């Protein structure tokens, strides 16, 4: 996954550099229009909005793909293999998920991984300098984009619902934990 992420980020950085070059070429071609003019600033703002929309669409496409891989209804409907598989194992005296389904101290839980993916999707806004002021990036616009927030919220709801189902499944076994937690020689002696 890290290789794919790095490749995708490199492509975005290359695209960002190309956009910056095209904007500079436009400025040269329109040498009669000063950069401080309202017309030029409006043009840069227009291009800026296109960049933000592109980043937003990329994030939402990535979130939609993950949703297709973790939403049980879509996995069943599309007959796809789930993106994440967990196993419930007896490691006496406990029943444990492998990997853990929630957040963990070591960051290796299923929700930790999911949150990392979402964070990586959103981080694309850091890969390009702002066109309008030449410094900073597009993180704030993407964090405040209602479409992005809605898509992320919807997928988080799916992940939390999956966790709840896993917890309920585990609890269906924990009611029998006396079978593996009870010391058998002691139990037989009292029987």
Site of tokens 């003019």: 37
Q: Where are the domains of the chain?
A: 2-84+109-158
This prediction's pTM: 0.84
Closest CA to 157 of 98, 92, 70: 70
100 vs 2, more confident = 100
Q: What is the DSSP string of 147-180?
A: HHHHHHHHHHHHHHHHHHHHHHHHHHHHTTTHHH
Is residue 170 within 8 A of residue 88, CB to CB? The reply is yes
Is residue 166 within 8 A of residue 86, CB to CB? The reply is yes
Closest CA to 117 of 55, 54, 63: 63
- Cis before 163? omega within 30: no
**How many CA within 13 A on the CB side of residue 93?**
7
**For residues 111 and 115, what is the distance between their CA atoms, to the nearest angstrom?**
6
Q: What is the pLDDT of residues 25-83, one digit of tens each?
A: 998 998 888 888 999 999 999 999 999 999 999 999 999 999 999 999 998 899 988 88
Site of tokens 């930790």: 112
Q: Summarize the confidence of residues 87-92 as an average pLDDT.
A: 87
**For residues 190 and 117, what is the distance between their CA atoms, to the nearest angstrom?**
53
Predicted pLDDT at 176: 82
Predicted pLDDT at 90: 86
**For residues 186 and 191, what is the distance between their CA atoms, to the nearest angstrom?**
9
């Amino acid at each position: 996954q890290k290789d794919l992420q790095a490749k995708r980020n490199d492509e975005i950085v290359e695209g960002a550099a190309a956009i910056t070059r095209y904007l500079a070429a436009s400025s040269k071609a329109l040498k009669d229009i000063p950069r401080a003019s309202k017309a030029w600033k409006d043009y840069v703002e227009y291009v800026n909005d296109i960049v933000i929309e592109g980043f937003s669409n990329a994030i939402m496409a990535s979130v939609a793909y993950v949703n297709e891989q973790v939403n049980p209804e879509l996995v069943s409907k599309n007959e796809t293999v789930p993106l994440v598989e967990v196993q419930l194992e007896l490691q006496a005296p406990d029943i444990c998920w492998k990997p853990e389904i929630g957040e963990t101290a070591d960051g290796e839980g299923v929700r930790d991984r999911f949150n990392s993916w979402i964070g990586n999707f959103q981080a694309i806004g850091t890969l390009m300098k702002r066109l309008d002021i030449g410094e900073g990036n597009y993180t704030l616009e993407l964090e405040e984009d209602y479409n992005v927030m809605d898509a992320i919220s919807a997928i988080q709801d799916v992940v939390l619902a999956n966790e709840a189902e896993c917890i309920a499944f585990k609890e269906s076994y924990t009611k029998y934990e006396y079978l593996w937690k009870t010391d058998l020689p002691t139990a037989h002696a009292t029987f």
